[in-house]
């Protein structure tokens, strides 16, 4: 029977008993139902996003927002003249975010949608480097040896950027029990070739906050004493959507004099699906004009400062949807629920008396810990056993000089309910019991040891 026959089951299609085309475009077409089913079913073999405690990225949005996204999948963000409303909504999002970051004058601030924080970081790095170069050139000084100062626990994108744009990275090491940088460590590495300093609001390893206000104050001091005016960039990939709601007492944003640029991922605690981030400038004039490019190829004059040209516009709508749907109250309630569930998880884990907590959810919706006793099995053995239950939880050694510490981190997202916390705590206990029994058994060498 032919596979396209009305009466045959999709599962009778020959692709279900032979291999799917993997290296060559197939000669013949396939009906859409079968194509869908083949790919849909294959995806069932991968991790469940709901149980992914490793990632910060959003997995669920309102159905109304899903509809908005589906309706606008064909909208190209760069076509600002054609998709004028989409483009206006982008500009509103930028203003709302600059306002959330307390930009002193919303008419002077600027920002742009990006694929994620990674693109935003690249743009900020480029702008700081070019601004530094132009200033040095004007002063008749060498401009071939730029550096950037940050902790060595920064997100990979900072290492990429430093390599791609040829900027020396001056990395501040961590040490056990201290997983954020200090203002003194920053200032001791700054010199006339420093294009900017980076502080992280929600570090990738432990989800803690670098002391942005202290770093700012030290840079202001330096400026007053030596005339060296070094800008501060805040990597708020996750923190920009946490701190204003959960930690309003902390100053980390454009209220601080040296903070000139901020990046944030809409797809993390902005609660939008993957594919959106934002780069923000307190003052548009901080972007060197030489970086703004123009084209008339779409039939109108398009000015841009971005790495990519075409991209989907739907996630911009999704971001704006959340802004008007949730408002400050909605964001605050969701972030607060996440943090309470993180605290609950941390407290349940601490009652097992097997872990030292690094982040107990006090500030951010995350729980990070290390095993007290790794003489028999280690953090990575534990997460392997948890993976048998479907939990996706990362174990990793901390960067130098804290590399002796193996941490386990669980980010709590909005889909992680109190019940799921109870299930996870009980699964951690069962996994520990299992490992205890394997490693106390004389036969443990045939067990599941992964060292
Ligand atoms: C996630 C993250 C990034 C990278 O952001 P993407 O949105 O994934 O591109 C950069 N810095 C920090 C601190 C992050 O948490």
Eight-state DSSP code of residue 175: B
Q: Name the residue with the closest Cα to ligand 1, atom 14.
A: 237
Q: Name the residue with the closest Cα to ligand 1, atom 1.
A: 237
* pLDDT recorded at residue 363: 85
Q: From the alpha carbon of 202, which atom of ligand 1 is closest?
A: 13
Q: How far apart are CA 79 and CA 176, in angstroms?
A: 50
200 lines ligand 1 (CB under 6 A): yes
Q: 56, 118, 181, 263: which to mutate for ligand 1, most atoms within 8 A of CB?
A: 118
Cα 425 to middle of ligand 1, angstroms:
28
435 lines ligand 1 (CB under 6 A): no
238 lines ligand 1 (CB under 6 A): yes
Nearest to 116, CA basis, from 314, 273, 336: 273
Cα 367 to middle of ligand 1, angstroms:
18
Q: How far apart are CA 268 and CA 116, in angstroms?
A: 9
Cα 96 to middle of ligand 1, angstroms:
20
* pLDDT recorded at residue 3: 45
* pLDDT recorded at residue 118: 98
Domains and CATH numbers, the chain: 67-322 (3.40.640.10), 336-439 (3.90.1150.160)
Cα 5 to middle of ligand 1, angstroms:
48
Q: How far apart are CA 158 and CA 14, in angstroms?
A: 47
* pLDDT recorded at residue 445: 58
Phi-psi region at 102: left, alpha or beta (left = phi > 0; alpha = psi -120 to 50): left
- How many beta carbons lie within 10 A of that of residue 332, not counting itself? 15
Q: 206, 237, 268: which to mutate for ligand 1, most atoms within 8 A of CB?
A: 237
Q: How far apart are CA 135 and CA 326, in angstroms?
A: 43
Crossing angle of helices 418-440 and 314-351, in 10° steps, is 50
262 lines ligand 1 (CB under 6 A): no
* pLDDT recorded at residue 360: 96
Residue ranges of the alpha helices (H) in 388-441? 418-440
Q: From the alpha carbon of 203, which atom of ligand 1 is closest?
A: 13
Cα 444 to middle of ligand 1, angstroms:
40
Q: How far apart are CA 209 and CA 132, in angstroms?
A: 27
235 lines ligand 1 (CB under 6 A): yes
Q: From the alpha carbon of 236, which atom of ligand 1 is closest?
A: 13
Using DSSP's 3-state secondary structure scheme, residue 62 falls into coil
Query: What residues in the chain have per-residue pLDDT under 70?
Result: 1-7, 444-451
Residues facing 408 on adjacent strands: 369, 395
* pLDDT recorded at residue 2: 46
Using DSSP's 3-state secondary structure scheme, residue 261 falls into strand
Cα 152 to middle of ligand 1, angstroms:
15
Q: 155, 266, 411: which to mutate for ligand 1, most atoms within 8 A of CB?
A: 155
Cα 169 to middle of ligand 1, angstroms:
18
204 lines ligand 1 (CB under 6 A): yes
The distance of Cα 248 from the centroid of its chain, to the nearest Å, equals 21
> Tokens for 374?
């790794």
157 lines ligand 1 (CB under 6 A): yes
155 lines ligand 1 (CB under 6 A): yes
Cα 120 to middle of ligand 1, angstroms:
9
Q: How far apart are CA 184 and CA 12, in angstroms?
A: 68
Q: Round the average pLDDT of the chain to a whole number and report it.
A: 94
């Amino acid at each position: 029977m032919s596979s396209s026959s009305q009466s045959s089951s999709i599962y009778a299609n020959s692709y279900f008993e032979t291999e799917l085309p993997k290296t060559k475009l197939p000669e013949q077409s396939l009906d859409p139902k079968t194509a869908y089913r083949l790919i849909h079913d294959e995806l069932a073999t991968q991790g469940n996003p709901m149980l992914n405690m490793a990632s910060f990225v959003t997995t669920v949005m309102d159905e109304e927002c899903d509809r908005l996204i589906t309706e606008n999948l064909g909208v190209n963000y760069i076509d600002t003249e054609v998709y004028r409303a989409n483009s206006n909504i982008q500009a509103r999002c930028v203003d709302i975010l600059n306002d959330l970051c307390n930009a002193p004058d919303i008419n002077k601030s600027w920002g742009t949608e990006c694929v994620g924080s990674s693109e935003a970081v690249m743009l900020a790095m480029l702008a700081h480097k070019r601004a530094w170069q132009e200033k040095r050139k004007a002063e008749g000084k060498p401009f071939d040896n730029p550096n950037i100062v940050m902790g060595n626990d920064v997100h990979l994108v900072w290492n990429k950027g430093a390599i791609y744009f040829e900027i020396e990275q001056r990395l501040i090491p961590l040490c056990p029990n201290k997983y954020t940088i200090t203002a003194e460590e920053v200032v001791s590495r700054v010199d006339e070739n420093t294009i900017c300093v980076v502080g992280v609001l929600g570090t990738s390893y432990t989800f803690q906050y670098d002391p942005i206000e202290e770093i700012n104050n030290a840079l202001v001091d330096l400026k007053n004493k030596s005339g060296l005016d070094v800008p501060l960039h805040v990597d708020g990939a996750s923190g920009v959507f946490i701190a204003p709601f959960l930690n309003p007492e902390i100053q980390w944003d454009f209220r601080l004099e040296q903070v000139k640029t901020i990046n944030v991922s809409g797809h993390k605690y902005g609660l939008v699906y993957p594919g959106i981030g934002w780069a923000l400038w307190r003052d548009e004039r901080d972007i060197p004009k030489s970086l703004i490019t123009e084209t008339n190829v779409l039939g109108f004059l398009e000015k841009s400062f971005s790495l990519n040209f075409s991209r989907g516009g739907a996630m911009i709508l999704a971001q704006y949807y959340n802004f008007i749907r949730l408002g400050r109250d909605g964001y605050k309630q969701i972030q607060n629920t996440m943090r309470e569930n993180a605290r609950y998880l941390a407290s349940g884990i601490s009652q097992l008396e097997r872990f030292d907590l690094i982040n107990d959810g006090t500030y951010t919706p995350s729980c990070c810990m290390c095993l007290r006793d790794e003489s028999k099995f280690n953090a990575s053995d534990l997460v392997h056993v948890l993976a048998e239950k479907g939990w996706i939880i990362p174990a990793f050694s901390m960067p130098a000089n804290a590399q002796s510490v193996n941490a386990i981190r669980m980010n709590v997202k909005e889909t992680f309910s109190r019940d799921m916390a109870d299930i996870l705590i009980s699964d951690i206990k069962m996994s520990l019991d299992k490992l205890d029994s394997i490693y106390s058994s004389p036969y443990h060498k045939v067990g599941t040891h992964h060292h």
